[in-house]
Amino acid sequence: MSDAEADLVILGGGSGGYAAAFRAAELGMSVTLIEKDKLGGTCLHRGCIPTKALLHAAEVADSAREGEQFGVKTTLEGVDMAGVHKYKDGIVTRLYKGLQGLAKAHKVTFVEGSGTYVGGTTVEVDGTRYTGKNIILATGSYSKTLPGLELGGRIIASEEALQLDYVPKKAIVLGGGVIGVEFASVWASFGTDVTIVEALPRLVPNEDEFASKQLERAFRRRKIGYKTGVKFTEAKQDDSGVTVTLESGETLEADVLLVAVGRGPNTAGHGYEEAGVQLDRGFVVTDERLRTSNPNVYAVGDIVPGLQLAHRGFQQGVFVAEEIAGLNPSPIDEDGIPRVTYSHPEVASVGLTEAAAKEQYGAEVEAFTYDLGGNGKSQILKTSGAVKLVKAPDGPVVGLHLVGDRVGELIGEAQLIYNWEAFPEDVAPLIHAHPTQSEALGEAHLALAGKPLHVHG
């Protein structure tokens, strides 16, 4: 017999867990939400929000340094990391308080402690058992490292990078994915000499090759070093710095080494495997309705194979709450989830890369690239980049890829185009305000619809 019962018990209070809790409460369920740390999880406290605050501070530093190109005489006196952290932490604190208020307003029972799934629909926390009619597993992810590379001291993960109280003079970033290029971008704006090491042939390797080339070109202009297609072999540290050895035999030296080789599923130690939940390489295996191998047990967020994005977990949480309530929501299309890398410049995408589209639809796939050199607002912002569309043969637009400062703000329209299976002819008549960067999306669709206007060549 359990000590406490509810309609729904959720293990993990990050984006997926709290979204499920709030939506389930709105649908009339009693909800118990278990979290060993703070409500909001990695995204709010150690991920998305604090990282993007640093990136905005970095943008301000660049604006101060480069004001003269706009006719404004400014200089950058330096970066006060204590002030940066005060700004960053203030944002996190306000959002955290707001989230706590929402949990209270939804009458969600919050249990603080480390939970263990003990089978059936029961979770145990410090000797107390909580049983639900259904359970959601939402324990998130952790920063991975490589075999033989131990975190500590000058070898840090993103969590420690967010708390550094100084700006490194030199930094090596191991990993050229989203986390790696974002921190490289921040540090370069703050004045750090940065080198990225990526084992795969290009930066942001999960993006369309066009986006990688655009970002690499921009990083060269910013004097951010990167070495692609080369593997790390060893790192040694002492009181003065870190020395990294590459497979090529080359050695690099820096003040810190940021290990940004991805995030692993946080499933160990929670009783999943022992209670019969099917795992694959540590991830929880689910069907398209996010049901696990155990009856009435669901999983959401980073522990489910796929994109490790807060908004994916959030939507999965909403989906499962509605599924449990019998609303029969439509399954989530993973390709329809927008992706943004908030570096300078930004990379934003939704749908298929050109290579993936050709695998699915054949060689007749159409692609069109519109350079932001023809976009007035982009020129005002002095950003370079482009919009690339990928279109199925005689079909809709199946991929949208954008590179440039602030293009992450365009991904809302881009994901509507993909998810509503719009043809170029559907988007071409839509009016985009002038001057905005959204016009670049309009121009690209006009061109694919056979009526290019601001297009050269």
What tens digit of pLDDT does each residue of 107-132 get?
A: 999 999 999 999 999 999 999 999 99
Question: Which DSSP category does 191 fall into?
Answer: T
Confirm if 162 and 48 have CB atoms less than 8 A apart.
no
CA atoms of 299 and 365, how far apart (whole Å)? 35
Amino acid identity at 90: G
- Count of other CB atoms within 10 angstroms of residue 210: 19
Amino acid identity at 94: R
pLDDT for residue 421: 97
Q: At what angle do helices 48-65 and 178-190 cross, to 10 degrees?
A: 40
CA atoms of 231 and 271, how far apart (whole Å)? 35
- Count of other CB atoms within 10 angstroms of residue 102: 15
**What digits encode the pLDDT tens for the residues 308-336?**
999 999 999 999 999 999 999 999 999 99
Q: Please report which helix (H) or strand (E) contains residue 426, including its range.
A: helix 424-427
Instruction: From residue 276, give the alpha-carbon distance in Å to each of 118, 273, 294, 297.
Output: 10, 5, 7, 11
Given pLDDT bands bounded at 50, 70 and 90, which one contains residue 341? very high
Q: Which two tokens stand for residue 214?
A: 């655009």
Amino acid identity at 53: A
CA atoms of 431 and 371, how far apart (whole Å)? 19
- Bond before 396 cis per omega within 30 degrees: no
Average pLDDT over residues 40-67: 96
- Count of other CB atoms within 10 angstroms of residue 104: 10
CA angle 179, 347, 412 (to 5 degrees): 110
pLDDT for residue 214: 97
pLDDT for residue 454: 77
Cross-strand partners of 391: 366, 397
Amino acid identity at 176: G
| Closest C-alpha to 368, from 457, 242, 255 | 457
Confirm if 10 and 114 have CB atoms less than 8 A apart.
no
391 three-class SS: strand
| Statement: residue 106 has pLDDT above 70 | yes
Q: Token pair 């690239």 is at which residue?
A: 369
Question: What is the residue-averaged pLDDT of the chain?
Answer: 96
This prediction has a pTM of 0.96
**DSSP code per residue over 16-34:** HHHHHHHHHHHTT--EEEE
CA angle 348, 353, 359 (to 5 degrees): 165
CA angle 371, 372, 376 (to 5 degrees): 135
Phi then psi for 20, rounded to 5 degrees? -60, -40
Confirm if 17 and 136 have CB atoms less than 8 A apart.
yes
pLDDT for residue 5: 93
**What digits encode the pLDDT tens for the residues 12-47?**
999 999 999 999 999 999 999 999 999 999 999 999
**What digits encode the pLDDT tens for the residues 243-299?**
999 999 999 999 999 999 999 999 999 999 999 999 999 999 999 999 999 999 999
Instruction: Give the chain's largest Cα–Cα span.
Output: 74
pLDDT for residue 1: 46
Q: Return the higher-pLDDT residue of 137 and 451.
A: 137
Amino acid identity at 318: V
**DSSP code per residue over 197-261:** EESSSSSSTTS-HHHHHHHHHHHHHTT-EEEES--EEEEEEETTEEEEEETTS-EEEESEEEE-S
| Closest C-alpha to 51, from 24, 23, 89 | 89
Instruction: Compute CA 356 distance to the chain's CA centroid, rounded to the nearest angstrom.
Output: 20
CA atoms of 143 and 157, how far apart (whole Å)? 7
Q: Which two tokens stand for residue 402?
A: 């954008």
Ramachandran quadrant class, 175 (left: phi over 0; alpha: psi -120 to 50; beta: rest): left
Write down the catalytic residue from 56, 106, 311, 434: 434
Residue 456 among the catalytic residues: no
Phi then psi for 200, rounded to 5 degrees? -80, 170
Cross-strand partners of 419: none
**What digits encode the pLDDT tens for the residues 184-218?**
999 999 999 999 999 999 999 999 999 999 999 99
Given pLDDT bands bounded at 50, 70 and 90, which one contains residue 457? low
Given pLDDT bands bounded at 50, 70 and 90, which one contains residue 408? very high
Average pLDDT over residues 295-306: 98
pLDDT for residue 255: 97
pLDDT for residue 3: 83
**DSSP code per residue over 355-373:** HHHHHHH-TT-EEEEEEGG
In the chain the domains, ranked by start, together with CATH numbers, are 4-140+266-325 (3.50.50.60), 144-261 (3.50.50.60), 345-449 (3.30.390.30)
Instruction: From residue 203, give the alpha-carbon distance in Å to each of 82, 215, 336.
Output: 31, 8, 22
pLDDT for residue 200: 97
Given pLDDT bands bounded at 50, 70 and 90, which one contains residue 50? very high
Enumerate the H helices of 250-364 as residue ranges.
Answer: 310-324, 354-361
